[in-house]
């Protein structure tokens, strides 16, 4: 039996994949350093640099769990992965996100399948991030033609080592991704320095708890670094991205919103927030989480007195903020000029497109 509150949010589980040496560990370390108050659980498949770096830099970062050597997918069957996920999802761990670093040799699809098949009610699959070494892409593709398959299923491709790769090499990777039929967002990066908000939300902790939080090693390290280099590394992270806030008390029309989401522009990497579908589902508010082309809705009942609104944040680069805001405004429910009210069945049908992206509805209330 779970001791959690009925509406304890599910913890997104993100799979971080990529071939040997592509920069997964570097990216993971970057996330741990710029976690903005989030508690990150990490499952890695070897006792490599990740834990050592995490420990020296942060002292303690959530719970770090290491699986004994070998390939995670091969060495661990679903029940073992579940054991680790269970440890990490205990309320006492207070984690906000879990990242599983897949071995360079593991098939990430297999890992994704295991997460989706998990009956742990506290997790939700958060997307597949594939790290690619832009400088070595051709050589990797020759050695591992299966990279095409990995790119095809990725939600977000981090085009890493752009400091070593020329425009031509970067263009080749983009072309290869497109050839797989994938619509994954492609984020160029050096040393895995992507904006962590692309993968998870800033921590939303009650203020009192935040105040009581002890200053961690990480805080000290970041403060020190900011003092050292003025507009330090942290500041640069956000400059490459733009974000658009949308806040409305007009309920969203499910079909219109789905049309918007299905045709979201390429540079729009991340969408998060809450949606009010009005008569589509009067009892529930829908959390929305999109990373690249990955999309997930998580319904939960409105709490008593909670204002019914839709609040979204869209993050991307090269996006047209006013146009996106306008498009979202057009997704609002409009009054029926004939004054006809739709039947319940029609509202239900309109929600079908949304429900395709809901995982195991109702589990939270079990
Ligand atoms: N020049 C350059 N080097 C990088 C970059 N990202 C990572 N590296 C280096 O590439 C090497 C491999 O990086 P890791 O993060 O260990 O790669 P990994 O994917 O975790 O590797 P495995 O654990 O072997 O699968 C390290 O020496 C990193 O310092 C980058 O963007 N540019």
Q: What is the pLDDT of residues 305-354, one digit of tens each?
A: 889 999 998 877 778 889 999 999 999 988 665 545 566 777 888 899 99
% of the chain with per-residue pLDDT over 70: 70
Report the distance separating Cα 16 and Cα 108, nearest Å.
8
Does pLDDT of 25 surpass 60?
A: yes
Does pLDDT of 364 surpass 50?
A: no
Residue 108 · residue 141 · CB < 8 Å:
no
Cβ-based neighbour number of residue 160 at 10 Å: 29
Atom of ligand 1 nearest to the CA of 131: 19
pLDDT of residue 249: 94
pLDDT-wise least confident of 46-55, 161-170, 335-344: 46-55
What's the CA-to-centroid distance between 238 and ligand 1, angstroms?
22
Residue 254 · residue 280 · CB < 8 Å:
yes
Atom of ligand 1 nearest to the CA of 164: 1
Determine if ligand 1 sits within 6 Å of the CB of residue 164: yes
Contacts of 303 (CB under 8 A, 6+ apart): 7
Tens-place pLDDT, residues 166-211: 888 899 888 988 888 777 888 899 999 988 888 876 655 443 344 3
Which residue has its alpha carbon closest to ligand 1 atom 14? Answer: 23
pLDDT of residue 338: 54
What's the CA-to-centroid distance between 133 and ligand 1, angstroms?
8
Residues 211-234: b if buried by 16+ CB within 10 A, e if exposed? eeeeeeebeeebeeeeeeeeeeee
Atom of ligand 1 nearest to the CA of 104: 25
Q: Please name the fold of domain 242-365.
A: Hypothetical Protein Yjia; Chain: A;domain 2 (3.30.1220)
Mean predicted lDDT score pLDDT of the chain: 74
Determine if ligand 1 sits within 6 Å of the CB of residue 20: yes
Determine if ligand 1 sits within 6 Å of the CB of residue 161: yes
pLDDT of residue 198: 82
What's the CA-to-centroid distance between 223 and ligand 1, angstroms?
26
Atom of ligand 1 nearest to the CA of 191: 31
Residue 160: pLDDT band by 50, 70, 90 thresholds? very high
What's the CA-to-centroid distance between 353 and ligand 1, angstroms?
40
Report the distance separating Cα 324 and Cα 328, nearest Å.
6
pLDDT-wise least confident of 34-38, 117-121, 127-131, 321-325: 34-38
pLDDT of residue 185: 85
Tens-place pLDDT, residues 84-108: 788 788 887 778 888 888 764 457 8
Tens-place pLDDT, residues 261-279: 988 887 787 787 899 999 9
At the top level of CATH, the class of 11-198 is: alpha beta
Does pLDDT of 217 surpass 80?
A: no
pLDDT of residue 117: 80
Probe ligand 1: pick from 16, 17, 18, 25, max atoms within 8 Å of CB?
25
Residue 115 to residues 82, 108, 118, 255, Cα–Cα distance (Å): 8, 11, 5, 29
Instruction: Please tell me what DSSP assigns to residue 260.
Output: H
Does pLDDT of 296 surpass 80?
A: yes
Atom of ligand 1 nearest to the CA of 46: 23
Domain ranges of the chain: 11-198, 242-365
Which residue has its alpha carbon closest to ligand 1 atom 29? Answer: 26
Does pLDDT of 165 surpass 80?
A: yes
Probe ligand 1: pick from 26, 143, 233, max atoms within 8 Å of CB?
26
Does pLDDT of 58 surpass 60?
A: no
pLDDT of residue 78: 52
ipTM of the complex: 0.98
pLDDT of residue 259: 94
pLDDT of residue 35: 73
Determine if ligand 1 sits within 6 Å of the CB of residue 274: no
Helix (H, G, I), strand (E, B) or coil at 41: strand
Residue 220 · residue 56 · CB < 8 Å:
no
pLDDT of residue 87: 78
Report the distance separating Cα 77 and Cα 69, nearest Å.
14
Does pLDDT of 226 surpass 60?
A: no
Overall size of the chain counted in residues:
366
Does pLDDT of 65 surpass 90?
A: no
What's the CA-to-centroid distance between 108 and ligand 1, angstroms?
19
């Amino acid at each position: 039996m779970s001791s959690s509150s009925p509406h304890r949010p599910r913890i997104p589980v993100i799979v971080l994949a990529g071939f040997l040496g592509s920069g997964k560990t570097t990216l993971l370390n970057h996330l741990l350093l710029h976690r903005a108050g989030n508690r990150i659980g990490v499952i890695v498949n070897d006792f490599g640099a990740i834990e050592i770096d995490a420990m020296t830099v942060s002292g303690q970062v959530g719970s770090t769990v290491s699986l004994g050597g070998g390939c995670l997918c091969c060495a661990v069957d679903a029940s073992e992965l579940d054991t680790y996920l269970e440890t990490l999802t205990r309320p006492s761990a207070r984690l906000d996100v879990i990242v599983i670093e897949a071995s360079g040799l593991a098939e990430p699809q297999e890992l994704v399948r295991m997460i989706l098949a998990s009956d742990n009610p506290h997790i939700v699959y958060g997307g597949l991030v594939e790290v690619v070494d832009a400088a070595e892409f051709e050589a990797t593709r020759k050695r591992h033609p299966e990279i095409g398959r990995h790119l095809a299923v990725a939600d977000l491709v981090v085009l890493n080592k752009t400091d070593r790769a020329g425009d031509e090499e970067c263009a080749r990777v983009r072309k290869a991704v497109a050839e797989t039929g994938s619509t994954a967002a492609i984020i160029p990066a050096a040393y895995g320095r992507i904006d962590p908000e692309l993968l998870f939300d800033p921590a939303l902790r009650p203020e009192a708890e935040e105040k009581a939080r002890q200053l961690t090693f990480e805080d000290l390290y970041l403060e020190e670094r900011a003092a050292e280099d003025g507009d330090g590394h942290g500041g640069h992270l956000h400059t490459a991205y733009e974000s658009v806030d949308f806040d409305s008390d007009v309920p969203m029309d499910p079909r219109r919103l789905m049309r918007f989401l299905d045709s979201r522009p390429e540079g729009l990497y991340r969408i998060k927030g809450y949606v009010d579908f009005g008569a589509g589902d009067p009892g529930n508010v829908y959390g929305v989480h999109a990373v690249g082309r990955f999309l997930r809705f998580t319904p939960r009942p409105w709490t008593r007195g909670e204002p019914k609104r839709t609040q979204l944040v869209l993050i991307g680069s090269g996006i047209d903020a006013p146009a996106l805001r306008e498009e979202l405004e057009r997704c609002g429910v409009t009054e029926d000029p004939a004054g006809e009210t739709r039947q319940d069945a029609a509202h239900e049908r309109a929600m079908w497109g949304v429900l395709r992206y809901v995982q195991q509805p109702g589990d939270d209330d079990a």
